[in-house]
């Protein structure tokens, strides 16, 4: 990649076209930005929170994933399934781009219960192989696959310190995509 950037910059230079900003990067590649001569800025957007994709890319540990979506089990009526009150309007429908490339988030209380399907308002967990015993009303915490899309679909984020709510951040850009 460094060679491609160098060639591009040389081509602009040969035409006497100054390049003031050379922008690139991502969260997984941020730690290597210093190896890219000519790069003047990086754009590691997910690193503030990290997410399941970042984890499976090896760029963070699970404990570095700062966002947890809180969802409640609303049904266990179908054997082998649990339904939660969070769907594609909560998590986005983005699948994993790395790792197992399946599922819609990681249930921290039961990693062996994948979220196998989403509709707009509900998530479907496959609990047929889980050691966890789910019950209606149970509150679960889930690391989303893609935190950017997840944050964009919410008005605010509640911040915690040592399990206690200490603040609330408004999502300033919420609904601003046109």
Residue 162 located in a structural domain: no
Report the distance separating Cα 144 and Cα 141, nearest Å. Answer: 10
Report the distance separating Cα 120 and Cα 60, nearest Å. Answer: 29
Tens digits of per-residue pLDDT, 102-161? 899 999 999 999 999 999 999 999 999 999 999 999 999 999 999 988 998 899 999 999
- What pLDDT sits at residue 5? 84
Query: Are residues 96 and 52 in contact, defined by beta-carbon separation less than 8 angstroms?
Result: yes
Is residue 82 scored above 90 in pLDDT? Answer: yes
The pTM assigned to this predicted structure is: 0.83
Note down the domain range covering 33: 2-44
Q: What percent of the chain has pLDDT over 70?
A: 100
- What pLDDT sits at residue 31? 81
Tens digits of per-residue pLDDT, 7-16? 989 899 899 9
Tens digits of per-residue pLDDT, 18-29? 999 998 888 878
Half-sphere exposure for 123 (CA within 13 Å, toward CB): 31
The beta strand positions in 22-176, using DSSP E, are 23-24, 41-42, 69-75, 81-84, 106-107, 115-118, 123-126, 139-143, 156-161, 164-170
Largest CA distance in the chain: 69
Q: Are residues 11 and 71 in the same domain?
A: no
Secondary structure letter of residue 94 according to DSSP: P
- What pLDDT sits at residue 98? 86
**Paired tokens of 120:** 């707009």
Instruction: Tell me which H or E stretch contains 12.
Output: helix 2-14
- What pLDDT sits at residue 39? 87
Residue 166 located in a structural domain: no
CATH of residue 145 = 2.40.37.20
- What pLDDT sits at residue 45? 79
- What pLDDT sits at residue 155? 93
Report the distance separating Cα 81 and Cα 77, nearest Å. Answer: 8
Number of domains into which the chain is organized: 2
Q: Are residues 78 and 130 in the same domain?
A: yes
38-68 per-residue burial string, b: 16 or more CB within 10 A, e: under 16: ebeebebebbebbbbbbbbbebbeeeebebe
Write down the mean pLDDT value for the chain. 91
């Amino acid at each position: 990649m460094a060679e491609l950037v160098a060639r591009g910059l040389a081509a602009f230079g040969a035409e006497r076209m100054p390049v003031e900003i050379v922008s690139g990067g991502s969260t997984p590649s941020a730690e290597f930005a210093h190896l890219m001569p000519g790069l003047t800025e990086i754009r590691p957007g997910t690193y503030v929170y990290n997410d399941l994709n970042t984890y499976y890319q090896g760029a963070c540990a699970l404990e570095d994933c700062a966002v947890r979506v809180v969802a409640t089990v609303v049904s266990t009526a179908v054997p082998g399934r649990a339904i939660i009150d969070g769907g594609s309007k909560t998590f986005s429908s983005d699948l994993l781009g790395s790792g197992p490339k399946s599922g819609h988030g990681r249930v921290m209380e039961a990693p062996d219960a994948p979220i196998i399907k989403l509709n707009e308002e509900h998530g479907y967990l496959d609990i047929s192989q889980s050691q966890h015993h789910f019950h209606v009303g149970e509150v679960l915490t889930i690391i989303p696959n893609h935190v950017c899309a997840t944050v964009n679909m919410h008005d605010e984020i509640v911040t915690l310190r040592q399990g206690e709510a200490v603040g609330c951040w408004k999502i300033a850009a919420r609904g601003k995509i046109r």
